[in-house]
Amino acid sequence: MSRRSSSVTIRDVARDAGVSIATVSRYINRKEPVSPEVSERLQAVMRQLKYVPHAAARHLATRKTRVVGLLLSNLQNDFFVPFLNGVEGIVRKKGYNLIVATHHANIRNETPPPIGPHNTDGMLVFADAMVDDDLTAYQAGGFPMVLVYRTPPAGLELPSVKVENVEITKQLIEHLIHAHGRKHILFLRGPVDQEDSRLREAGYKSALEATGIPFDERLILSGDFERGAAYQAVNEFLNREPHIACDSVFTGDDDAAIGVLRALRQHNLRVPEDVSVAGFDDLGFASFLNPPLTTVRAPTELVGQIATERLFNLLDNGPTDGSVLLPTEIILRRSCGCPFEQPAL
């Protein structure tokens, strides 16, 4: 006996037909040709399972939920305050409600994302909150989505909103080298699955190469964009590698900088006299740290606003505007060794 169509997903169709989710997506959306043999097999499986793509089901619906979703991988640090402010302001202006949920997409299991076509009209997907297969399945059903802080997977046409990471990180590291004579710069990676983390590391390595400083794998730590993880990583490094003359730290983001400053103090290292420290984001507390934090100012609230506006464009069948890359700028404060706050580089 076949299951009810409401419980059948694109994953079920792909499994029973012996093809990938991407192949089912291409067949449903008619974007790329599918062989006659595969096409017949998919038609037979869809008839047997009584599968109805989400787009068709939504078209037959008599009402919308007037709810949009925001799917995050976590809610553990202060970064999300301005971002959520940006999202919520647009949602409220449109007269919709917002559901915020977390989903650990890097943990491969059979649990689907908690929000999606079943309870929202559209969704913002943050960084690594969904794996590519789920994005493909949702898009195949015509579900409106906008990605934030990540590039769409190959073959998927999804609007995205990001900030510039590579060149600005390169400039910040070069400032530590040229303005303050730093040569042994500790770099704290963010979550391994996040695009921002990979791009900031690329900027770090580019700066070392441009200035002739050899890359040292021992100076790369995992900070996870989180103060507790950053504190533990730097504390363990200083205990394990006291012979390495670390003279500066790029913390990856501002929240991690809190943990870094604590670890340095516990090891009686002065900032910036002994070690320069720099972050990324320019969150509200950055200028209130002791010493005030040199960092990259990123338009976090604006990212939330623009991404949400793009989502409502999709809901109104308007233009998607493709990918948006917002500029960033360096804010110099005392933590790097500059005597006082200076205009952006």
- The correct answer on CATH 3.30.230.20 for the domain covering 5-52 is no
Q: Which whole-number Å values give the CA distances from 51 to 15, 20, 59, 105, 313, in the listed order? A: 13, 16, 15, 25, 28
pLDDT over 90 at 213, yes or no: yes
Alpha-carbon distance 146 to 273, whole Å? 44
Average pLDDT of the residues in 101-116: 76
State the pTM of this model: 0.82
Q: How far is CA 300 from the centre of its chain?
A: 12
Q: What is the pLDDT of residue 35?
A: 82
Q: Which of 57-66, 129-138, 180-189, 242-251 has the lowest mean pLDDT?
A: 57-66
Q: What is the rounded average pLDDT of the residues 124-135?
A: 91
Q: Check pLDDT > 60 for residue 31.
A: no
Q: What is the mean pLDDT of the chain?
A: 89
Whole-number pLDDT of residue 224: 94
Q: How confident is the model at residue 61 (pLDDT cuts 50, 70, 90)?
A: very low
How many Cβ atoms sit within 10 Å of the Cβ of residue 310? 29
Q: Is 63 a residue whose pLDDT tops 70?
A: no
On the question of pLDDT at 277 being above 80, the answer is yes
The lowest-confidence range among 74-78, 83-87, 194-198, 317-321 is 317-321
CATH number of 65-163+300-326: 3.40.50.2300
**303-327 mean pLDDT:** 91
CATH 3.40.50.2300 residue ranges for the chain: 65-163+300-326, 166-299+330-336
How far the first Cα of the chain sits from its last, in Å, is 67
Give the pair of three-digit tokens for residue 3.
Answer: 């299951």
Question: In 10 A of CB 194, how many CB atoms?
Answer: 21
* pLDDT at res. 40: 80
Residue found under tokens 């040199």: 294
Report pLDDT for 130.
92
Q: Where in the chain do CATH 1.10.260.40 domains reside?
A: 5-52
What integer pLDDT is reported at residue 58 of this predicted model?
A: 47
Which one-letter DSSP state was computed for residue 167?
Answer: H
pLDDT score, position 234? 97
CA distances from 64 to 121, 147, 271, 322 (A): 7, 22, 54, 25
CATH topology of domain 166-299+330-336: Rossmann fold (3.40.50)
